[in-house]
Amino acid sequence: MKLTLRIWRQKDRDARGRMVAYDVDGLSADMSFLEVLDVLNEQLTTAGDEPVAFDHDCREGICGACGMVINGVAHGPQKLTTACQLHMRHFKDGDTIDVEPWRARAFPVVKDLVVDRSAFDRIIQAGGYISAPTGSAPDAHATPVPKVDADAAFEAAACIGCGACVAACPNGSAMLFTAAKVAHLGTLPQGQPERPSRATSMLAAHDEAGFGGCTNTGECTAVCPKGIPLTVIGSLNHDVLGAAVRGR
Amino acid sequence: MTTNPGEFVLGEPIADTAAPDGPLAERWTRRRSTGRLVNPANRRRLDVIVVGSGLAGGSAAATLGELGYRVRCYCYQDSPRRAHSIAAQGGINAAKNYRNDGDSVERLFHDTIKGGDFRSRESNVYRLAEVSVEIIDQCVAQGVPFAREYGGLLDTRSFGGAQVSRTFYARGQTGQQLLLGAYQALERQVNAGTVTMHTRHEMLDLIVVDGRARGIVVRDLETGAVTVDLADAVVLASGGYGNVFHLSTNAKGCNVTASWRAHRRGALFANPAFTQIHPTCIPVSGDHQSKLTLMSESLRNDGRVWVPAEAGDTRAPGDIPEDERDYFLERRYPAYGNLVPRDIASRATKAVCDDGRGVGPGGRGVYLDFADALERLGRATVEARYGNLFEMYERITGDDPYQTPMRIYPAVHYTMGGLWVDYDLRSTIPGLFVIGEANFSDHGANRLGASALMQGLADGYFVLPNTIGAYLADGPFPKLTPKHPDVVEARTAVTDQVRRLLTIDGDRSVDSFHRELGRIMWEYCGMERTDAGLRKAIELIRSLREEFWARVKVPGTGAELNQSLERAGRVADFFELAELMCVDALHRTESCGGHFRAESQTPDGEALRDDEHFSYVAAWEHATPPVLHKEELAFEYETPSQRSYS
Ligand SMILES: Cc1cc2nc3c(=O)[nH]c(=O)nc-3n(C[C@H](O)[C@H](O)[C@H](O)COP(=O)(O)OP(=O)(O)OC[C@H]3O[C@@H](n4cnc5c(N)ncnc54)[C@H](O)[C@@H]3O)c2cc1C
Ligand code: SF4
Ligand code: FES
């Protein structure tokens, strides 16, 4: 299989970037998309050129490190699939594929396809946790959690923090990411005491980081590799409103 | 100085592991209640560096922060939440006995000692089993969404090497959920100002001053700046070294550099040859392969492993009638069936493939079949239990496991070896503590499934925060400046190595060397090892290493994000580790757990231990030739026996 890749090359944060075309040959349908980039990088390296920088680690769709816009879609054409789990059997021989970094005001490009997503960590710092210092916990069976709640919490907790939702959003909003954490913790009995303050503080950190507001376009959930549903944003709004009513 | 392949010197034995004596069940309580403490006001004046933000490092940094120490935590990823622990699938063990199926701390202790083939320390393993119970409580309090039953209580499942159901899980994403719990606790401390997090930073050396670990040299992976961080103690939580084999189930960035640098600075490296090959991974599909994907051990709860009874049978699996199949694990190990420990399942798999009965391209695969489970439980139940794993399998292979059996083959997965630590998790360098997969401590020659998460969190939440106080009670240690000659020396060593890698300007990529090194290790230091093979491997490693330092091509500069340079440094350390692994494997002429020496097997092909000569931990000192220090293992409560799972 042979492909033309048009890839965003940018030397560092301050440099201007541009798309550069590369031909890559000898690919197989069993390869993952990142393995194609490996092949290209091997080719570039032996030719004395600089390989393309991209974030990746687990290559199993769980660490959230990889992320690139492939043919205009965050993580590429395959639904519920991260770039590392995208396999070449979904492309045709001779295809030209565009590869770009996440583009969002709050995610500056560091180099080539690598962006700075530290704003996500700052949102979590603002309240994306339950305060349970080590050693203070009661027996795990002290509070049964109805299975439906446990399952709903799990669904929301499945977010891998990749940032595709932000890249896809016309406003560069991180509401899906933020709300997923609010919904995860707010669904569990352990998460109740901090529930009102959590949503408000996380939202403030979200806005502070330069993410845009949510106008319900739903582009986020369409590209989310973990299928985080739009309804989590509803529960965030509910918590924020609840906090406002209580005057917190 | 060159040495003969496998040559080593016998050094002084390790006399003291700092384990308390007295009844096994009271040791940890006694250590906790009599250990020296640091008063809260002093903790604010003590700096602790934690390298790693996985389950071990994340939980340790958070807990040390809660205690009031000034903590700085490092990881090479762009966020601490991406540490390799995130990928753990199956579950975490704990002796809760919520099922009333006869589980207890004693039984978990027994299973772990036996599973490790009697090559671990009783005191440590007992403590691990004891602490396991608190881990589940802690994680639930943090909001970890474990699987629950309809009554609202926690669900469990069975893992290999156990006859009870003690594995807690969160669908197939247990590691992710546990790590997010630790990550959130960590970020809470960042917010509280007790922990400073440094992402995209790689530790490249350890700073030792007056015999104490006093800091680290780090490279900022974005700017390339090489700086030093000085502290009162250093905790390594940098994970395992399975990527020495190039292809493994580990994340691409997993490396030995932090541990290896500490080893070069004087920390002993224990049992480097003890590596775990996991039986159920997706087979290699071609030369482009960049990593291997695990199919969780939990699948063996319901999946049945088989191959055609006859060699050379190329029919599709569905066309092979029941009586022409060999369910070889069930046949050989009726008591545990498909749930035998990993080392045993892997070797049995290799044996049937060596017999010519393997399936799929190259004959390196066996079936993991869910047809019976689907019939017995129905699709909905199978989907609820394993849905995400089935999807992952289909995404990678293009085959649907609901229709055709999965094909699996063993792959490198975990490293039991690591830096030597005593009962208090102290390495042989005062002030250097090692936790999680990076240490060698609890799993002997083979780790049981779902026990790494348990150990990482035991070390990080409960053990280290309790034992580090005794060391720090003597601090703060004399103030150091970056101008101290030992600090300058360490920093210069790092900048020199970076420069050297960049100036070779050869014609071969780092990856091509890593791939070749991996092939050598898999061939000669993988599932089966022999005297001749290991000697050959050492020679091959040496000549490849020489070639690496003459021909490697690292494009770009040191003053920017340079992923080739990062990998080059890691591969350089893998070369040195690889040789030590072979030396260790060569010297241990017995078979035990994951270490299988073809020369030492029972008539039916099981690992044959040699307790008379090898009932010890092999702790290696860095020297040419390497120096072996033995820690003899004393079994007061368990009686080493030939493991039997049949
Ligand atoms: C696919 C897979 C599935 C698994 N499933 C299970 C399971 O179900 N149950 C179970 O018990 N175990 C499982 N394991 C094993 C388990 O996940 C690991 O042993 C465990 O998570 C290791 O945790 P850790 O904290 O020691 O290290 P890691 O999670 O590997 O973290 C290492 C940390 O160190 C940092 N680091 C490394 N080197 C440097 C450096 N030089 N400088 C700065 N930072 C550095 C990294 O950035 C990272 O933050 C699985 C392993 C794999 C590969
Ligand atoms: S919500 Fe989905 S797209 Fe957004 S960060 Fe989480 S997993 Fe990625
Ligand atoms: S590399 Fe981990 S999610 Fe893609």
In sequence order, what are the residues at sequence separation of 6 or more whose Cβ sits closer than 8 angstroms to the Cβ of residue A222? Answer: A168
* Cβ–Cβ gap B286/A30 under 8 Å: yes
DSSP code string of B131-189: HHHHHHHHHHHHT----B-TTSSBPEE--TT-SS--EE-STT-HHHHHHHHHHHHHHHH
Instruction: Give the largest Cα separation in chain B, rounded.
Output: 75
Query: How many residues would you count in chain A?
Result: 248
pLDDT at B583 over 70: yes
Q: Is the dihedral of CA B116, B121, B123, B127 positive or negative?
A: negative
Q: Of residues B107, B342, B426, B545, which has the active-site annotation?
A: B342
Residue A6 bridge partners (DSSP):
A21, A98
pLDDT digits (tens, 9 = 90+) for A42-99: 999 999 899 999 999 999 999 999 999 999 999 999 999 999 999 999 999 999 999 9
**Is the beta carbon of A63 within 6 A of some atom in ligand 3?**
yes
- Atom 53 (ligand 1) nearest CA: B250
| CA-A58 nearest atom, ligand 3 | 2
Cα separation, B635 vs B444, in Å, equals 13
Cα separation, B291 vs B247, in Å, equals 5
Cα separation, B119 vs B617, in Å, equals 7
Report, in this order, helix, strand and coil percent for chain A, each rounded to 5: 40, 15, 50
Cα separation, B646 vs B640, in Å, equals 17
Nearest CA in chain B to A13: B222
pLDDT of residue B137: 98
pLDDT at A159 over 70: yes
Please tell me the least confidently modeled range out of A68-72, A239-243, B621-625. A239-243
pLDDT of residue B385: 83
- Cα-Cα-Cα-Cα torsion B336, B338, B341, B344, nearest 10 degrees, comes to 100
As annotated, the residues of chain A forming the CATH 3.10.20.30 domain(s) are 3-110
Residue type for position A68: M
Residue A52 φ/ψ, nearest 5 degrees: -80, 130
| Burial annotation B340-368 (CB, 10 A radius, 16+ → b, else e) | bbbbbbbbbbbebbeeebbbbeebbbbbb
CA distance to A219, B79, B246, B440, per residue, from B52 (Å): 35, 11, 21, 16
User: Looking at domain A117-130+144-246, which of 3.40.50.2300, 1.10.1060.10, 2.160.10.10, 3.90.220.20 is its CATH number?
Assistant: 1.10.1060.10
| CA-B454 nearest atom, ligand 1 | 11
Mean pLDDT of A171-192: 98
Rounded to the nearest angstrom, the minimum Cα separation between B175 and chain A is: 10
Angle at A189 between CA B197 and CA A159, to 5 degrees: 45
pLDDT digits (tens, 9 = 90+) for B143-154: 999 999 999 999
**How many beta-carbon pairs under 8 angstroms link A with B?**
225
**Pair B176, B54: CB distance under 8 Å:** no
Pairing of strands B212-220, A109-111: unpaired
Q: What integer best gives the mean pLDDT of chain A?
A: 96
Contacts of A55 in chain B (CB under 8 A): 77-78
Cα separation, B358 vs B337, in Å, equals 19
Structure tokens that stand for A211 in this block: 């993410």
B315 Cα: distance to centroid of ligand 1 (angstroms): 40
Percent of chain A's residues with pLDDT above 70: 99
Residue A24 bridge partners (DSSP):
A3
* Cβ–Cβ gap B87/A63 under 8 Å: yes
* Cβ–Cβ gap A38/B136 under 8 Å: no
Cα separation, A224 vs A232, in Å, equals 13
**Is the beta carbon of A23 within 6 A of some atom in ligand 3?**
no
Query: How many residues would you count in chain B?
Result: 646
pLDDT digits (tens, 9 = 90+) for A184-234: 999 999 999 999 999 999 999 999 999 999 999 999 999 999 999 999 999
Rounded to the nearest angstrom, the minimum Cα separation between A81 and chain B is: 9
Cα separation, B132 vs B108, in Å, equals 9
pLDDT at A103 over 60: yes
Q: What integer best gives the mean pLDDT of chain B?
A: 96
Cα separation, A84 vs A78, in Å, equals 11
Cα separation, A27 vs A32, in Å, equals 10
pLDDT of residue B192: 98
How would you class A245 by CB atoms within 10 Å of its CB: exposed for 0-12, middle for 13-18, buried for 19 or more?
exposed
pLDDT tier at B341 (50, 70, 90 boundaries)? confident
Ligand number with the minimum distance to the CA of A232: 2
For the sheet containing B212-220, what is the strand order?
A: B201-209, B212-220, B226-230
B342 noted as active-site residue: yes
pLDDT digits (tens, 9 = 90+) for B486-516: 999 999 999 999 999 999 999 999 999 999 9
Helix (H) or strand (E) holding B577: helix B563-587
Strand, helix or coil for residue A24: strand
pLDDT of residue A245: 83
Q: Which fold has domain B1-274+416-637?
A: FAD/NAD(P)-binding domain (3.50.50)
How would you class B207 by CB atoms within 10 Å of its CB: exposed for 0-12, middle for 13-18, buried for 19 or more?
buried
pLDDT of residue B644: 79
Nearest CA in chain A to B171: A154
In CATH terms, is domain B278-413 a member of 3.20.20.70? Answer: no
pLDDT digits (tens, 9 = 90+) for B418-475: 999 999 999 999 999 999 999 998 999 999 999 999 999 999 999 999 999 999 999 9
Which residue from B625, B167, B593, B101 is spatially nearest to B344, judged by alpha carbons? B593
Extents of the domains making up chain B: 1-274+416-637, 278-413
Peptide bond into B476 cis (omega under 30): yes
pLDDT at A248 over 60: no
In CATH terms, is domain A3-110 a member of 2.60.40.420? Answer: no
Cα separation, B159 vs B161, in Å, equals 7
- Cα-Cα-Cα-Cα torsion B309, B315, B317, B322, nearest 10 degrees, comes to -50
pLDDT of residue B384: 84
Rounded to the nearest angstrom, the minimum Cα separation between B624 and chain A is: 34
pLDDT of residue A244: 84
pLDDT digits (tens, 9 = 90+) for B112-139: 999 999 999 999 999 999 999 999 999 9
Cα separation, B349 vs B281, in Å, equals 12
Rounded to the nearest angstrom, the minimum Cα separation between A213 and chain B is: 24
Higher pLDDT: B178 or B287? It is: B178
User: Residues lining ligand 2, CB < 6 A?
Assistant: A 159-165, 176-177, 180, 224-226, 228
As annotated, the residues of chain A forming the CATH 1.10.1060.10 domain(s) are 117-130+144-246
pLDDT digits (tens, 9 = 90+) for A28-46: 999 999 999 999 999 999 9
* Cβ–Cβ gap B143/A190 under 8 Å: yes
Cα separation, B141 vs B149, in Å, equals 18
Structure tokens that stand for B421 in this block: 């630590």
Q: Kindly calculate the radius of gyration of chain B based on its CA atoms and give it in whole angstroms.
A: 24
* Cβ–Cβ gap A59/B66 under 8 Å: no
| CA-A83 nearest atom, ligand 3 | 4
Could you identify the residue written with the tokens 């590209």? Answer: A223
pLDDT of residue A247: 67
Mean pLDDT of B35-45: 94
A150 Cα: distance to centroid of ligand 2 (angstroms): 20
